[in-house]
Chains A and B, each alone.
Chain A
Amino acid sequence: MAHAVISCLHANLAAVQAVLDDIDQQGIKAITCLGDLVGYGPQPNEVVELVRQRAIPTCQGCWDEDIIDGLNACECSYPSQLAERRGHLAHHWTANRLTDDNKAFLAQLPTTLRRDKLLFVHGSPNSQHEYLLPDMNAFAALERVETAGAETLFCGHTHQPYVRELSGGSIRVSVQQSGSEPDRDQVMTLPMRRIVNAGSVGEPRHGSTNATYVVHDDESDEVSIREVNYDVAKTCQAIVEAGLPDVFAWRLSHGFEYAERAEDASHVCER
């Protein structure tokens, strides 16, 4: 059975609707959402309500968490003062606009979802704020999957879709002993592990304006990345009408994220 994994919706209703339509057209019934339902985009309530209406199992993203708990991410989350100011503006706008009911929904979301050996998180098993980038050190990437007890880890947060197979991994332990005893070596070979990043529905960062998500086939274990064209102009108009900065609309319409990622993407905020 195929199931779809979506992430980083960012209050972009037109993109979410287009992706759900695409999933429906394929006859896929099971959907998992990796969070960030809100943030930057102009329709936070509409997107949260659509996810609730469709009863899509969802884990909490960093934006969902911040809207509930308040802004307490450290300044290193942003690569520049400009990005930080825009992030804060979007945060306050969203927090003021979101209904109490929808905030309560975001507050009760779990940070991880698990189905057998499949693990679903927003950022990484360690934090909603940690980026698992495609070029992350292979040992560190393998450690994230292995210590979480998963064979395949589904994540989002980077807004860049990818499938990374981690094969041929091993852990070698060398124990130095006292006296003339030789060192004792132990090698554990790890089976293939996989990280699947679903990209972003509402704020692409992969060089195109298209929304992305992934489809996983439980039987064949194959993963495919899908791109969906949607009415970007409609969301841009909604951004302007909502009173968000015009430059947000410009960035979205050109396939640029609203605010750039931090320079040190592996940084995890001290919260």
Chain B
Amino acid sequence: MQQIWLITGPPGCGKTNWIRETLQNHEGSCAYVRLDGATQEGLEIGHNAGIDHSWLKDQIPQLHKFSDPATSSQLSSSDRFVLIEAQQFSAPTARDDGLDPQIKQQLERFNLKPDRMLHFGVDPELPKQDTLAFTKLEAWHFDLQGCVWDPNSLSSFWFELVNGAYGDVYRAKALMNMPDGRSFFCNWMVSQSGSQFLPLQSVEAPTGRPKRASHFVIQGKGLFPLGIKSTINDCLLSDDVLELQQAQLRNQQPNLQATLQTPD
């Protein structure tokens, strides 16, 4: 029997992590839909640009993704566990289902009628997180497709970022490529201790620039995008330096390319 659940909550409350754990424990077909979220005055929605889906797909290879309403008929006709994620700042009210009209519109476009709606900070089925009440939020997004980081530089930059060197960052989430072909899901939220640096299971061969998705989204207040961009540029490897580092890796492990799993 098909189940469709809608998971909502403010930025950084743990929606994607909860969805990952829930779907990993689910036996059978599963699907994931990420809605754009609801914009409000003074509260910008972070442009996720596929970070969450790429991360979930890496962790749950059988996961189906539906981002195009035209394919939604496949979604509704199948016998699947469908989890829908949407960013919503305020909790649903008692009088109504509490869903933001922008989220409702998207559900209609997908022809999705959730059986359950769970909101972080409200429903006890979800882990009790220290969800923040946002009154003002800026969002900033950077496409890093094909970019490769110097690992030590990334470490320094991330430290500066989450400690306030570029404004009051509340949330930072990214997929970052390393020269050895690995990619990391980097995740940080002001209300939670420490950062997550989780390696993707899919590893590309260290031969040039990776093909996989790589994006970076930040939400916060008083952000300093010029400073962020400038530092990022100082952290990314040029073609020459990338080749130099990858050539060393290939020499150390001549069979590396053959043993690596190539992402789809």
Using a CB–CB cutoff of 8 Å, the interface residues on chain A facing chain B are 79-83, 85-86, 245-247, 250-251, 254, 260, 263
Contacts and interface: CB of A to CB of B under 8 A. Distances in A.
B235 A245 contact: no
A81 B234 contact: yes
Decide if the interface of chain A is mainly helix, strand, loop or mixed: helix
Contacts of A81: 150, 152-153, 234-235, 237, 241
Interface residues of B, number: 19
Contacts of B231: 82, 247
B230 interface: yes
Given A86-B234, A245-B227, A250 B153 contact: no
Contacts of B153: 80-83
Contacts of B163: 254
Given A247-B165, A250-B165, A82 B227 contact: no
Interface of B: 150, 152-153, 155-157, 160, 163-166, 224, 227, 230-231, 234-235, 237, 241
Contacts of A245: 227, 230
Secondary structure class of chain B's binding surface, majority of residues: helix
A82 B234 contact: yes
B42 to A, nearest CB: 25
Contacts of A263: 152
A57 B253 CA distance: 54
Contacts of B160: 247, 250-251
B178 to A, nearest CB: 13
A83 B153 CA distance: 7
Given A81-B241, A82-B235, A86-B234, A260 B224 contact: no
A79 B231 CA distance: 15
Contact of A80 (B150, B224, B230): B150
